[in-house]
Amino acid sequence: MKDNNHLRVAIIGLGAVTRNIHLPAYKKLADKIKVVAGCDVDGAARRQAKEKFALPEVFSDPREMIKQTAPDIVSICTPPALHIEQSLIALENNCHVFCEKPVAESLPEADELIRAAAEAGRYVVVNNQFPYMNIHLAAKKIIGTPDFGKLLFLQAWQVFHPDEVTEADWRGQLQRRLCFEFGIHVFSLARFFFDEEPTAISAQMPNPLAKFHSDALNLITLEFADGRAASIILNRLSNSPERYLDMRLDGENASVYTSIGGEVRFEAGLHTRQKLPFFGLNFVKGGKAVLQKGTKSRIIAKDGINPFASSTAYHFNNFVDAIKNGSEPPGTIADNRKTLALVFAAYDAAEARQTIRLSDYLT
C-alpha cells in the first residue's frame, strides 16, 4: 500500500557502501522515507541484506525490483561502470536517482544522464556528501565572518595505506584510481568552500613503485580568477601514520584546520617565538574543525564515529525535502558534472605536463 507520508526508496547494490553508509543514513530518516527493497547480483549480499538488515524484499534484477516495489527514489550503490546504465533504468521508470560518486566514467556519459533526467522530469543527485559533514559546514559558515575574513588558500592532504581489502574488486582494477575515486571528494570541497569555479588546474602524478598500476600520488593545484588557490596532495606511497583527509583553510584573519578521522591526543610543548608553554587533550570520534589564530585555537565542530553516514543522511534529507516541496535539490548531476570535470582535467594536465585552462571542461 502506498504511504503518502513516506517516500519509497529502493537500493541497487548491497555491498559495503550500502551496509556502512546508506542503510545507517536512511535509518536516521525513518520519519520521511521507507526502504522497500534492495537488489544485488550476489546471493550472499541479498541474504545478508534480508537477514541482518531486514530489507523487506530483495531482488537480483533492478528492473524487476522497480516493477514490483514502485519506489520514488532509486539509490545506486554499485561500481562506477554501472552507474549510467542503472540510473537510466530508474529514470525510464519515473524514479528519482540518488547515485554514489563518481557518477560517470566520462563527461559525455554525465551529459547523457543530464539529458535523460531532464526528459524524464526527475532528479539525479550525486552523493558527494563531504560538504555536509559537521566540520565542513562549520568551516563554510565561518568564511566571510570578521573572525576569518575571505578564504585565500586551501591545502588538503591524505596519507592512506592500500591493502588487500582496499584494492579488492573494482577499485583495484581501476587504472585511473586515486583522483577519480577519492580526489573527487576534495574537488567537491574546494568548490564548496571557494563558492566559485577554478579557472586552471595543474597536476603531477608520479608512480615510482611498480606494484601500483594506477595513480598512487597526486600533486594538484587549482587556480582561481582572483589569485586564490588550492593545493592538494593525495599520497598512497607513504609509510607514515594514515590521515584520511586533513585540510587547512587560510583566511585574511585566521585559519581553519579540519580533519576526518578520530583521535585521542595529549599535547605539550613550547611556542618558541612567544616562549609560552602549551598543553592540550583532544578526544574526537570522527572529525574536528579548529579555528586557529597564532597560538590560539578552539574547536568549532566535531563529527561522530561515522561522519560518512551522517553526512549522507543530511544530503539525502535535503533531496527528500526538495522532492516534497517541488524545488531543485542540491548536488544534482548538472552541478556534480563540474566536480567530475576537475577529475578528468587533472588527469589530462598530468599527462600533458602543463597547466590546463578549465573553461572547456566546465561548459
Q: How buried is 229 (Cβ within 10 angstroms: 0-12 exposed, 13-18 middle, 19+ buried)?
A: middle
- Please report which helix (H) or strand (E) contains residue 308, including its range: helix 307-325
Q: What local confidence, expressed as pLDDT, does residue 79 receive?
A: 95
77 pLDDT higher than 70: yes
102: preceding bond cis by omega (within 30 degrees): yes
From 75, 103, 126, give the residue that closes a domain: 126
Helix (H/G/I), strand (E/B), else coil: 159: strand
Same domain, 114 and 149: no
Task: Compute the average pLDDT of residues 31-47.
Answer: 97
Q: What local confidence, expressed as pLDDT, does residue 282 receive?
A: 40
Quickly state the pLDDT bin for 173 (edges 50, 70, 90): confident
For residue 312, what are the CA distances in angstroms to 5, 13, 99, 106? 21, 16, 11, 24
Q: Is residue 362 part of a domain?
A: no
- Which segment of 111-115, 172-176, 299-303 scores lowest on mean pLDDT? 172-176
Same domain, 87 and 148: no
User: Please, what is the average pLDDT of the chain?
Assistant: 91
Same domain, 188 and 298: yes
Q: Is residue 93 part of a domain?
A: yes
236 pLDDT higher than 70: yes
- Number of domains present in the structure of the chain: 2
Quickly state the pLDDT bin for 279 (edges 50, 70, 90): very low
Contact 44, 18 (CB under 8 A): no
Q: Is residue 337 part of a domain?
A: no
274 pLDDT higher than 60: no
Q: What local confidence, expressed as pLDDT, does residue 285 receive?
A: 60
Q: What local confidence, expressed as pLDDT, does residue 280 receive?
A: 39
Task: Compute the average pLDDT of residues 227-247.
Answer: 95
**Domain housing 58:** 7-126
Q: Is residue 257 part of a domain?
A: yes
Q: What local confidence, expressed as pLDDT, does residue 214 receive?
A: 83
Q: Is residue 94 part of a domain?
A: yes
Task: Compute the average pLDDT of residues 63-85.
Answer: 98
Same domain, 261 and 281: yes
Question: What residues contact residue 99 under an 8 Å CB cut-off, 6+ apart?
Answer: 75, 76, 83, 87, 124, 125, 126, 127, 333
Question: What residues contact residue 90 under an 8 Å CB cut-off, 6+ apart?
Answer: 12, 62, 66, 74, 76, 96, 97, 122
Quickly state the pLDDT bin for 262 (edges 50, 70, 90): low
Residue with C-alpha cell 575574513?
149
CA distance 11 to 298: 41
Same domain, 173 and 281: yes
Q: Is residue 216 part of a domain?
A: yes
| Longest Cα separation, the chain | 71
Listed residue (245, 257, 191, 256) closest to 218, CA to CA: 245
Same domain, 87 and 173: no
Q: 5-32: per-residue pLDDT in tens? A: 899 999 999 999 999 999 999 999 999 9
Same domain, 18 and 135: no
Q: 108-123: per-residue pLDDT in tens? A: 999 999 999 999 999 9
- Which segment of 179-183, 262-266, 343-347 scores lowest on mean pLDDT? 262-266
Task: Compute the average pLDDT of residues 79-108.
Answer: 97
Contact 242, 161 (CB under 8 A): yes
Task: Compute the average pLDDT of residues 136-162.
Answer: 96
Q: What local confidence, expressed as pLDDT, does residue 39 receive?
A: 98
Same domain, 55 and 151: no
Listed residue (238, 171, 187) closest to 346, CA to CA: 187
Q: 178-202: per-residue pLDDT in tens? A: 999 999 999 999 999 999 999 999 9
166 or 13, which is more confident: 13
329: preceding bond cis by omega (within 30 degrees): no
Same domain, 95 and 149: no
208 or 203, which is more confident: 203
Listed residue (307, 316, 83) closest to 181, CA to CA: 83
267 or 190, which is more confident: 190
What phi, psi does 336 have (nearest 5°)?
-65, -25
Q: What local confidence, expressed as pLDDT, does residue 1 receive?
A: 44
Same domain, 111 and 66: yes
Q: Is residue 89 part of a domain?
A: yes
Same domain, 182 and 80: no
DSSP 125-140: EE---GGGSHHHHHHH
C-alpha cell at 235: 599520497
Which CATH number is 33's domain given? 3.40.50.720
